Structure 1
């Protein structure tokens, strides 16, 4: 599960870490919540350029008739990405990186919830695996870009706090994950094990 995360890296840090030529910034936040705008990095199929842009956090597939009534999942289980129609198309061709500086997990004890913050030791931004889609809009409704964070079984560090964790993509795999022409499911699925 990943229901809250942060992004307080400077724009120049993001451009360096993710090798971005152009980038739109988003105000720093220590508590990004579902249904808010998040930054995602996608890759252009023609130029292979990486793009940083805004998306709604909560996936709305392009075939949805009414985005206001449809479910908008904030997380997708890695294990079912190739099976569930809600995620299948996006996993095949519309994978993205979701830049972050850390995420929260909670434990419950005696009716109270305690948040724990997970981040890289050097505080550098890193990437969560995501998928995205475009809802085309209508006569009175604008196009909506939306995304969801992919989760997997928690590793030994996170297991005491939660049974699930977001999939973290290592820098040397950014290009492989983003490549819309990469249809090697085995290679893509193996990326989730790097931090487990």
Structure 2
């Protein structure tokens, strides 16, 4: 799964990287501890143009009565995203890219304590997670754009840490994922190639969703 990540790029750098026009209400950066239900940056393609927008991390199906109606859907499995009623329309029609500088996963020691790892691209480049999104409108009529990160089996670099990982979309595949380059996005939902990612242990301080600061990503 993917339950926490970091984003450190300034908004203008993200906009240039993804050739997207930035919205005016983007989340504050840097954020070294992005948690579920936080607002996140997301790249979408609409009307032949890319936009960098804010979304709530936690996909809310259109039939939900409230934002908290049902389980918190922060991830969607690549193997079933095209079949699950909550996700299947979004998988066909509403795909997005979620920028990240890195993400966290956990192992456990012999005493059951959670040991966090920070995972980044080996070359230091920003990551782009495959995502899906949904515009949800509550009873009060106020729309909220929500999203989920698609996950797949872990590659050999990460399998010793966790059996799942986010789908990382390579730069040359981003137009296809966003629907700008025709059909075939389903073939992108696979693990990142071996050697692309690296991981190191970080301080257990990140176990708290209230923790913040660059020190959360430093190796220990």
- Give the whole-Å Cα distance in 2 for the aligned partners of 1:11 and 1:34: 20
Cα deviation, residue 173, structure 1: 1.1
1:144-159 → structure 2 map (5 Å cutoff): 144-159=144-159
Q: How many residues align?
A: 190
| Runs of at least 5 residues in structure 2 that lack an aligned partner in the other structure | 194-220
- Give the whole-Å Cα distance in 2 for the aligned partners of 1:73 and 1:36: 13
User: 1:80-118 CA distances to partner (integer Å, 9 max, x unpaired)?
Assistant: 011110100100100000011000010011221111111
Q: Give the alignment's TM-score, normalised by structure 2.
A: 0.80
Cα deviation, residue 23, structure 1: 4.2
1:18-33 → structure 2 map (5 Å cutoff): 18-24=18-24, 25-27=26-28, 28-33=30-35
Q: Does 1:17 align with 2:14?
A: no
When the two chains are superposed, the root-mean-square deviation of aligned CA atoms in Å is 1.8
* Aligned residue in 1 for 2:92: 92
Going by fraction, where is helix more abundant, 1 or 2? 1
Q: Does 1:175 align with 2:175?
A: yes
1:1-196 → structure 2 map (5 Å cutoff): 1-24=1-24, 25-27=26-28, 28-44=30-46, 47-109=47-109, 110-138=111-139, 140-179=140-179, 182=182, 184=183, 187-193=184-190, 195-196=192-193
Cα deviation, residue 194, structure 1: 6.0
Bigger RCO (CA 8 Å, 6+ sep): 1
| Runs of at least 5 residues in structure 1 that lack an aligned partner in the other structure | none
